[in-house]
Amino acid sequence: MKIQLSEHFDYKKLLTFTAPTIIMMLFNSIYWVVDGFFVSNYVWKDAFTAVNLTFPVIMVIASIGFMVGNGWSALISKTLWEKNIELAKKYFSMLTYFVVICGIILSIAWFFFIEPVMTMLKASWDVLANCIIYGRVLFFSLVFFMLQHVFQSFFIVNERPDLWLKVAVIMWVMNMILDYVLIYLLDMWILWAALATAVAQFLWAIIPLIYFVTSKKSKLKFVKTWLEFRPILKSCINGSSEMLTTFSMSLLNILFNYQLIKYFGNEWVIAYWIIMYVWFIFTGMYLWYSFWVTPIVWYNYWAKNSEELKNVLFRSLKILWFAAIVLTLTAEICSWLLAKIFVNYDAELLAFTTKAIRLYSLWYIVQWINIFWSAFFTGLNNWVVSATISFLRMFVFQIIMIFSIPYLFGSEWIWLATTCTEVLWMFVTISFLIGMRKRYRYI
């Protein structure tokens, strides 16, 4: 069932419209989890630690794809609503060219700076060698990784999320097969895990690219155009909150890694990254639901349809609140099983990871509030509020908590840093909601 942005959204339509991206996100998350599972169980601890130290640094760079994709999807949604198809094609083409240029520049920089960055993070010698191998292989696919996030936004705008889901499923299956064959059956090392991921990322960008080039039904096509400063800047600013969310989460991962190495040692980074694999799936549901609701908010804001804006808002709040309860309970109940999947070979690490998951998972009950409202204000074209929510929450509150809680209460309580951050920042978010209610009439 094809759903258009101009329709009235009941619960069924909201879930139908967002389901492909949530399911796609699940496959995308499992895509990284599968890498972690095979590397942890069949290549061993040093390689697994290396993957987990390298990945957040890659995500810091790839966050540009989130910024550009979400910011430009809002601009193109507005342009399509105004029936200016040619201008929409121009913006679409300009964006893709801009991301490719940025990706190439950042890939070259990443190739040379990976060793000093990993050294700064205090990776041990054995772990550092694996970090360099894994990171330098993935640098070849960085452009495609960024394009992947951009194209998924355009499938939303193009009102074809179902096609993106099909691509995601194909890539997930292929990566899992490659990991199984190269790591488990052929007993190969971390280089082949990186190659399997790089090949999948390449195809994940190329298949959508072929669609936009060849499809006669697509509203978005590539055309000849120059890069224009004003629309690029405007879109990047509007999408900055989503970039900040991804960037700050990656920075948070880096700082957590640093603190864990400081207090416990290199191998205990594994515990945090098992938590992150759960986070990819659980928080991803909040993030991608909010991400895909943004074009609906955008459309109704520009159409001055305040009643539909209220409708989408309150239905979304109910959906996310129910999801928060279910996900938090699931993480608490299944903590031992989740840890056992990755570190069944080490009883001490298994016990440590189980306790860490239980403490960290309290985060899920409140985290959705700040994620959703940041995306909602992006949809209302208020990048200042959206970026402020993301920036202060992650760069100020979170960093303070990561360093202060272990110092004040002991290193084992570091897992509550994120929950404390979300609770404190929730009150700031509520103040924005109250202050903006008359301007946007969402209450």
Whether 389 and 374 have beta carbons less than 8 Å apart is answered as yes
Looking at per-residue pLDDT, the higher value among 347 and 70 belongs to 347
pLDDT in tens, 21-31: 677 667 666 76
Tell me: pLDDT of 1 over 70: no
Q: What is the pLDDT of residue 28?
A: 66
pLDDT in tens, 98-122: 888 888 888 888 788 888 887 777 6
3-state SS class at 206? helix
Q: How far is CA 122 from the centre of its chain?
A: 25
If pLDDT is split at 50, 70 and 90, which confidence band does 329 have? very high
Output the CA–CA distances (angstroms, integers) from residue 125 to 15, 50, 75, 112, 248, in the order listed: 48, 11, 47, 18, 27
Looking at every residue in the chain, the average pLDDT score rounds to 78
Mean pLDDT, residues 294-317: 81
Tell me: pLDDT of 345 over 80: no
Mean pLDDT, residues 274-298: 79
Tell me: pLDDT of 366 over 80: yes
Cα–Cα distance measured from residue 100 to residue 98, given in angstroms and rounded to the nearest whole number: 6
Q: Which has the closest alpha carbon to 369: 430, 308, 415, 418?
A: 430
pLDDT in tens, 72-100: 666 777 777 777 778 878 888 888 888 88
Q: What percent of the chain has pLDDT above 70?
A: 86
pLDDT in tens, 186-236: 766 777 778 777 887 888 788 888 887 887 777 777 788 887 777 777 777
Q: What is the pLDDT of residue 242?
A: 62
Mean pLDDT, residues 166-182: 77
Cα–Cα distance measured from residue 167 to residue 210, given in angstroms and rounded to the nearest whole number: 12
**pTM of the shown model:** 0.66
Whether 176 and 34 have beta carbons less than 8 Å apart is answered as yes
Mean pLDDT, residues 420-433: 81
Cα–Cα distance measured from residue 286 to residue 329, given in angstroms and rounded to the nearest whole number: 16
Q: What is the pLDDT of residue 325?
A: 92
Amino acid at site 369: I
Cβ burial, residue 98 (10 Å; 0-12/13-18/19+): buried
Looking at per-residue pLDDT, the higher value among 161 and 305 belongs to 305
Maximum CA pair distance of the chain? Answer: 63
Output the CA–CA distances (angstroms, integers) from residue 382 to 20, 339, 373, 386, 432, in the order listed: 27, 40, 11, 6, 11
Which long-range contacts link 428-431 to residues 24+ away (Cβ below 8 Å)?
A: 428/389, 428/392, 428/393, 429/369, 429/370, 429/373, 429/389
Q: What is the pLDDT of residue 400?
A: 86
Mean pLDDT, residues 327-350: 86
Specify which of 233-237, 289-293, 362-366 reaches the highest per-range mean pLDDT. Answer: 362-366
